[in-house]
Structure 1
Amino acid sequence: MRALVVDPRQPESVRLADIAEPVVATDDVLVEVHYAALNHGDLNDARSGRVPAGAVLGSDIAGVVLRSGPTGPPAGTRVVALAAGAFAEQVVVAPGSLAEVPTTVDLAHAAALPVAGVAALRALRACGSLLGRRVVITGASGGVGRFAVRLASIAGAHVIASVGRHERGVGMKELGADEVVVGLDGIDAPVDVVVDNVGGPQLVSAWQLLAPGGTVQSIGWTSGEPAVFPPYSTIGSPKSLTSFLIEGRAADDLADLVRLVESGALPVEIGWQGPLERFFEATDALRDRRINGKAVLTITAPSPGELPHTTDSRSAR
C-alpha cells in the first residue's frame, strides 16, 4: 500500500513509498483511510526524529472500518481517529482512539478534527468555566485556532482572535470572535486565558497580558523562535503557564466534536485539499501560512455511496 514515510535524506524528510499492509492485533481496528489531515506537528515529527526513519507519518484520519476486534465498531462503520501512521491507505487504530461518523458529516471534515479539534477542546476545558472571561486565541486562523475560537465562543467567553496579518482575520467574527487583532496589538485590558499556538516572543507578550489568576495554555510553537522572558517576569500575582500534549483516550472528545459538527455548531474549514502525491505542495502552503483552516490529503477514493468532498486546493471557505 502507499504511504508517506520518514526519510531524512529527502525534502521535508518524507517520501512516498510502497509498504506492507499493517498487521492487526486481536483488539485493534483496521481502517481504510479516505482522508488524513496535515498538521504543523507532523512536519516537526519528521524533521526532529521523533518519528523514526521508515515509519509512516501522520495522526489524523477518517475512513471506513475494514476489520475489527470484539470491542471495536463493525466493518463498514465510518470513523474518525487519532492514530499514528495516518498517511497510509490502511491504519491500525485502538478502539479508544476513534469515534463513529454519521452519514450527515463529510469524512473530509471529520479528518480535520483529531489533533486540532482535540487540542482546542482540551486546552479550553483545562481553564475551567469560560463564561464571561476574556480569552485570547493566538494563531487563530489556523486549524487549531479556528476550532478554539468557535469552542470558546460556544462556552460564553469574550473571544479575542489573534492573527498574523489583517487578511488572515477574515471570517473570525463569523466564528464567534468579539475582537480580531494582529499579533497582540490593540489588547488594552488584561485577559484571563491565552491559548497559544505561536510561541516565541508572542508567548512572552501573552504572559504579560494575563490578569491575576490567568493562564496560558501553550499548545503549539509555529514561530520556531525562542521565548525569552525578561527578569522578574514570574514575580507578582499568581498566574500559570501550562505545557500541553494530547495523551490517553480520544474517543469521547472525538465523539463530542463530531456531534458539534453534525449540529452545525462547529464549522470545519478546509483551506487546502489534494491527493497524497501533492503532500509537498500542502507542506509549502502550511509553512507559508497560506492556508486558513485545515489541509486535508485524499488517501483513497471514497467508497460507493460516499459523497466526495468538493473543495479544491484553492478554496478557503
Structure 2
Amino acid sequence: MRRLSIAEERWPVAGSFTIARGSKSEAHVVRVTITDGAHQGHGECVPYPRYGESVPQVIAALEGARVAVEAGLAREEIASAVAPHAARNALDCALWDLAAKQAGTAVWQLAELPRPVPAVTAYTLSLNTPAAMGEAAAKAAHRPLLKLKLGRAGDEERLAQVRRNAPTSRLIVDANEGWRPDNLEAMLAACAAVGVELVEQPLPADDDEALRGALRPVPVCADESAHGLDTLDALAGKYDAINIKLDKTGGLTPAIALARAARQRQLKVMIGCMLATSLAMAPAMLLAPLADVIDLDGPLLLASDRTPPIRYDGSLMYPPPPALWG
C-alpha cells in the first residue's frame, strides 16, 4: 500500500529576490513523497499567492486527498481529487517519479519525450535601481541569457544600464504585470532598442486587451494570463509565446499537453519556474526539447540546494541525476 508524506520547507534566497509585486527572502515550498514500501517518488511545489494559493491551503488539500492517494490515485485522476494547481503539481511529479523507479526506467521514456540534454537557462536579475541592476549585469555578463525583472518607474534606464554592462548577453524581460496600456508601446520600443528578444506579461492579466492592437516589435509572452489548455484560446491575437510552469498547469502531465498544443498554434514556448529547488526544476527540464526559451534558474538564486542537486555549469543546466528525480 502507498504512503503519502507532506513536508513544508523553507530555502533561503542568496541575498534577496524582488519583482514588481514585492520581495522574497526565501523559497517556501511543499515537498510530497509517495512510497510503495520499496520505492519513493518525490515532487515539489510552490503555492503562489498571485494565484490564490498558500502553503497551508495546499497542505490541507493534500491531506484531504491522502486516502485517495494511498488507495492508488492515478495521475489522470488528480485534477478531480485536488483543487490547488500547486498541490496537483507535487502529486503528479511524485507519481511520475514513483512510476519510473518501479519500472526501472526514466520518466522521459515513460512520457515519450525526447532524451534530455544539457541546455542553457536564463539567469534572473532581480528588480532593483538602474545602477544596481547595471552592477548585477556586469557580474553576470559572462552568462549567455539574462532575464531582467522590470515593472516599475525607471525601466528604460534599467534596460540601458544592463545592456551597457552586458553587451553580448541575450536579454529577455519580465514585467510581472507592471506596465500599463498607456506606456506599453513605449516600453516595448525601449526593449527593442537594446535587443530584448522576449517580454513576459507586460500588462495585468485582466487588462491585457491592449496587446491585441499594439505594435509589438518584441514578441510578448503570456505568463500570468496563461495556465492550462483552457486558457489558450484567450491568448490569440495578444501573445506570441506562452510561459509554461508546472505549478500553474498542475503538473508535468498537463504541461506536456499544453506545450504540444501551444506548438500546434505556432506559439513560442518558454519553460519557466517559481523560486524553488532542483527537485522542482527536474520535471520541468524534461520539457526543454519542446521549448524555445528555458528559464529554470531557481536553484541558482538560493543559498543552498538539495542533495544531489541539478548540476549547473554557469548557465548550462544538466539533466537531473536519477537520485534526485526521474
Q: When the two structures are superposed, what TM-score results if normalisation uses the length of structure 1?
A: 0.31
TM-score where L is the length of structure 2: 0.31
Higher strand proportion? 1
Larger relative helix fraction:
2
